């Protein structure tokens, strides 16, 4: 089971800022380990964000998003107590969904 994401969603005025820190190695397939062997590629390819049931962001990624991806985006029409849910899927078919309430 992949490690959980950290999600912080705060609303100031009309705009909510959502910050996400994901735990993922984002291996490009070009890195060599200590023995000189290539580490196989493994990276997040798809990300979706929802606020309550509404999709508010969808992303397609390649291997050049940094390890332990950071992502921030901003939403309108969001209130304290709304639920933000973030999901990712990677090249190995693993996926993870985490949620947080807007504060």
Partner 1 sequence: MIMTRRNLLAGAGAFSAWLLLAAGGLLAGAVRAAIPRSAFDRATLDDIIKDLGGSGSSESGDIEMHVPEIAENGAVVPVEVTSKLANTRSIALIVSKNPHPLSASFQIPEGTEPYISTRIKVGETADIIALVKTDAGFFTSKRLVKVTLGGCGG
Kindly state the number of chain residues that form the binding site for partner 1, as judged by CB under 8 A: 32
Interface pick for partner 1 out of 1, 12, 13, 32 (rule CB under 8 A)? 32
Interface pick for partner 1 out of 56, 84, 100, 102 (rule CB under 8 A)? 56
Is there binding between residue 59 and partner 1 (CB under 8 A)?
A: yes
Q: Which two tokens stand for residue 23?
A: 């735990």
Interface pick for partner 1 out of 40, 62, 81, 103 (rule CB under 8 A)? 62
Residues 6+ apart with CB under 8 A from 63: 26, 27, 28, 29, 41, 43
Q: Which is nearer to partner 1, 28 or 98 (CB)?
A: 28
Side-chain half-sphere CA neighbours of 62 within 13 A: 1
């Amino acid at each position: 089971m992949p490690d959980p994401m950290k999600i912080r969603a705060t609303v100031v005025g009309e705009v909510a800022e959502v910050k996400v820190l994901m735990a993922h190695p984002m291996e490009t397939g070009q890195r060599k380990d200590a023995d000189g062997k290539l580490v196989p590629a493994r990276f997040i390819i798809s990300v979706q964000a929802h606020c309550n049931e509404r999709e508010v962001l969808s992303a397609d990624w390649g291997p050049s998003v940094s390890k332990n991806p950071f992502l921030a985006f901003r939403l309108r029409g969001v209130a304290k107590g709304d639920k933000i849910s973030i999901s990712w899927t990677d090249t190995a078919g693993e996926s993870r969904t985490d949620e947080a309430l807007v504060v």
